[in-house]
Amino acid sequence: MANTKSAKKAARQTVRRTAANKTRRTRLRSSVRKVEEAIVSGNKEAAAAALRDAEPVIARSAQKGVVHRKSASRKMSRLAKRVGAMGTP
């Protein structure tokens, strides 16, 4: 348990940040999953729309420090490549 005033404050901040980051991480994973499900279904228009929705979520999660910026870039790149490789609808 924290003893000093600053350590107690740091512990409170950690709890708040953990909750916020958990929400952001969940949103990130959900958006990526929606794109992947659209790719598997074979609907290129739905996959492209899901990718358009997912890209800002991925970028924001990198900006907030939830994932590394290069990891986020890699996710976006690989999803875009998969959507682009789909046949015409």
CA angle centred on 75, ends 72 and 77, rounded to 5°: 110
Give whole-number Cα distances, 55 to 10, 68, 73, 84, in Å: 32, 15, 9, 14
Taking the CB of residue 35, how many other CB atoms lie within 10 A of it?
26
For domain 5-84, the CATH superfamily is Ribosomal protein S20 (1.20.58.110)
Q: State residue 1's pLDDT score.
A: 81
Tens digits of residue pLDDT in 26-66: 999 999 999 999 999 999 999 999 999 999 999 999 999 99
Tens digits of residue pLDDT in 79-88: 999 999 997 6
Q: State residue 88's pLDDT score.
A: 64
Extract the tokens encoding 12: 């409170």
What is the rounded CA–CA span in Å between residue 78 and residue 60?
A: 17
